[in-house]
Amino acid sequence: MANNATDGYGALFNPFSICNVEIPNRIVFQPHFTALGSADGLPTDAHRSYHEARAAGGAGLLIFESMSVHPEGKMSRHFVDAWDPKVIEPFKKIVNAVHKHGSKFFGQLTHSGHTSLEHPTPIMWAPTQIQEPYTNFMPKPMGKIDIKATIEGFAISAKNLISAGFDGIEIKIAHDGLLRSFASPFFNHRRDEYGGTFEKRMRICIEVLEAIKKSIGSDVPVGVRLCLNEFTPWGYDLDYGLKMAQHLEASGFVDYFNCDAGTFSSYWMEIPPFAVAQGSFQNLNIALKKQSKLPVIAFGRLKEPGLAARIIERKEADFIGMARQLIADPNTPNKIRTGRSDEIRECIACNTCAHQVGRERAIRCTQNPNAGRENEINDLDASPASKSKMVLVVGAGPAGMKVAEVAARRGHNVMILEKSDRVGGQLILAAKQPLHDEVLSVSHYLETQLRKLKVQIVFNTAVNAEVIRESGADVVVLATGSRPRLPENAARKYDFPNKDLGDLSASLGRQVLPQIPGINGENVYSADEVMHGNSTIGKRVVVIEESGHWESCGTAEYLADQGHEVYLITSRSMVGGDLEGANQHLFVERAVKKSIKILTNSSLLSISNSGVELKSSMDPNNSFKIPCDAVVPIIGRNSEENLYIELVDLDGIKVPEYELIRVGDAIAPRTLELIIYEATLVGSRI
């Protein structure tokens, strides 16, 4: 590919070779589990379209996710069985689809060893019978016959992939899997030729590499995804990681390194969420590049084109590895190359994708509704509408903007009415939470698209039935969002008025209903009020966490950062229970540092001027009090539906003369990923 890059990022678009395979540019789609594999271990058509989209988007090299080399080495039921020759034919279609766009395609091989996503796990293999500390399941210590079968499995699997047309092979001595545990002094206590000294711990890795080279020929590139630092108290550090790299390189069987860090027990470093700063792992990339004569792929939240180009220019690495950025926007390389970096849909490091596949469900992305669904939807290329309609969207939050974007792309004439003076809706409040500013990339991207599509957004406009009638719209989309679930917000016109439920909430063990004595007090604030910057809130604040998500955790942290003394209290067994694991872990770590007092298994009984009364599920016969100046009960949200009720009446009898659609939180409050997906579907069918 010619170096025709603009914006000064040309360094990213110079070809570079690994062995005799020329990679057209420096952007690598990193291997990651997608859970798109079939239940019988085959690659699928969903894999084909997923990878073709990234190849079409301009990535120079794609590395297909970890595949198992042995029937007892599958980390998930959705792992592809590379050892099985049945994979060759379906893989040929996927390889061809990638090659069609000029990209090169490598495949990553692993034995999952003592790590599994299944729960309970199948029998797992390990050098020694020591469990990964994150898990409760013990592996089987391997015999020599198992080691031999594993090495043979790598060789057979590599041959299968090369037969299918892959351009190279990568093995994983990285965040999960067997080979890293053999190399690790913590996990490997063997006293035979595969343990006891550094060389013996590395022996299986060298034998695997040698067997692969013998099986596919020395001219086919073979690389190693290498964990350079395990980032656990018991794990190995960068010095040890570099020693491993040196040993592997000296074997002569390795053609490139792909950097990595973290393990299943430190997965916040393996798939770093937004709390881990971009480029945090650059010291690891640089250290390996300095030491090695082989091509090096850098890793670690490298989404920003300027940073990526600088790394290449300064020779701190030869390639830039991107996984999540290309999940969020497969066209990132092409946008950088053609001077459209301002149109990139940035990964916000929310880790919804990791949360999803960690539960063995097909990959999804908050920003990109197409991810993992490339065969089903395309928000950028939905089919043109048969008739152009006047579409009026009420609300410029993510749901409203996404409907507007997709509808406008399809040829509709779209206008958005927004009651505030800016776009974003709840994203604006979410972005005020500590370390959450990247979430604004969602509204920034959508706003940029709407501007290009010439969608008019009218701000500071309150909407009622008359405004809608006078607009003459053919289709009205209500994206009015939601509001905190507090008594004055929760009651709908057709609910029982102020039904007194006594202490039912407390007896439920959770405050799912906002009927708590004292909840209407002047010392009670909603999360939205707090995040809007209510200055009168007192020093000592109790946040009641019944959302399991960022609304409560982020609000508590925001208050702590503002100098408040904060209690975060939940009736559940943990706070932030619905957060993705890495985010949840790092939140609790920060909460402890910020002196947020976390109280679990505690139900709110009542609120008074002087504090809250609680009941612990550990001691249900006794209540206890916590003095405080303010209480922020976060017990869910309710749909903002007054306008909808005004338009259709309570029973839906009034039939408007236009098509009326609700979307997003206005129907039922949900996660951002689901809202964007639903809005895409709505925009696609208008």
- Which residues of this protein are in contact with ligand SF4, per CB under 6 A? 324, 327-328, 347-353, 365-367
**Closer residue to ligand SF4, CB minimum distance, 128 or 325:** 325
**Whole-angstrom distance, CA of residue 592 vs CA of residue 291:** 38
353 vs 634, beta carbon nearer ligand SF4: 353
Nearer Cβ to ligand SF4, position 353 or 635?
353
Neighbour tally for 497: CB within 10 Å: 7
Q: How many Å is the Cα radius of gyration of the chain?
A: 27
Question: What minimum distance in Å lies between the beta carbon of 364 and ligand SF4?
Answer: 7
3 state DSSP class of 14: coil
> Quick one: 351 or 603, whose CB is closer to ligand SF4?
351
Q: C-beta of 327: minimal distance to ligand SF4 in Å?
A: 4
Name the residue nearer to ligand SF4 (CB basis): 5 or 586: 586
In degrees, to the nearest 5, what angle opens at C-alpha 559 toward C-alphas 558 and 562?
Answer: 90
Token pair listed for 484? 């905190």
Task: Tell me the closest approach of the beta carbon of residue 32 to ligand SF4, in angstroms.
Answer: 9
CA-nearest of 556, 555, 548 to 579 is 548
How far from 214 is each of 200, 209, 217, 222, 256, CA to CA, in Å?
21, 9, 6, 11, 17
Show the tokens assigned to 372. Answer: 């993992």
- Within 10 angstroms of residue 404's Cβ, the number of other Cβ atoms is 30
CB of 69 to ligand SF4, least distance (A): 27
Angle, to 10 degrees, between the axis of helix 144-163 and the axis of helix 198-216? 40
Specify the 3-state DSSP secondary structure of 304: coil
Taking the complex as a whole, how short is the minimal distance between the CB of residue 353 and ligand SF4, in angstroms?
Answer: 3
Residue 387 CB, shortest distance to ligand SF4, in Å, is: 34
Least distance to ligand SF4, CB of residue 347, Å: 3
Q: Which is nearer to ligand SF4, 128 or 366 (CB)?
A: 366
Report the nearest approach of ligand SF4 to the CB of residue 64 (Å).
17
Beta bridge partners of 638: 483
Query: What is the smallest separation between the CB atom of 299 and ligand SF4, expressed in angstroms?
Result: 15
> What sections of 78-121 are H helices per DSSP?
88-99
| Residue 367: CB minimum distance to ligand SF4, A | 4
First to last CA, the chain: 40
**In this complex, which beta carbon is closest to ligand SF4, that of residue 348 or of residue 440?**
348
What is the rounded CA–CA span in Å between residue 154 and residue 302?
30
Alpha carbon distances (Å) from 16 to 11, 168, 319:
11, 14, 9
Q: Considering the complex, state which of residue 437 and residue 619 has its C-beta at the smaller distance from ligand SF4.
A: 437
The smaller minimum CB distance to ligand SF4, of residues 1 and 380, is found at 380
Residues 6+ apart with CB under 8 A from 674: none
Triad 477, 480, 485: Cα angle to 5°: 145
Structure tokens at 303: 């989404």
Tell me which residue has tokens 């020759």: 85
SS3 per residue for 212-228: HHHHHCCCCCEEEEEEC
Q: Which is nearer to ligand SF4, 261 or 326 (CB)?
A: 326
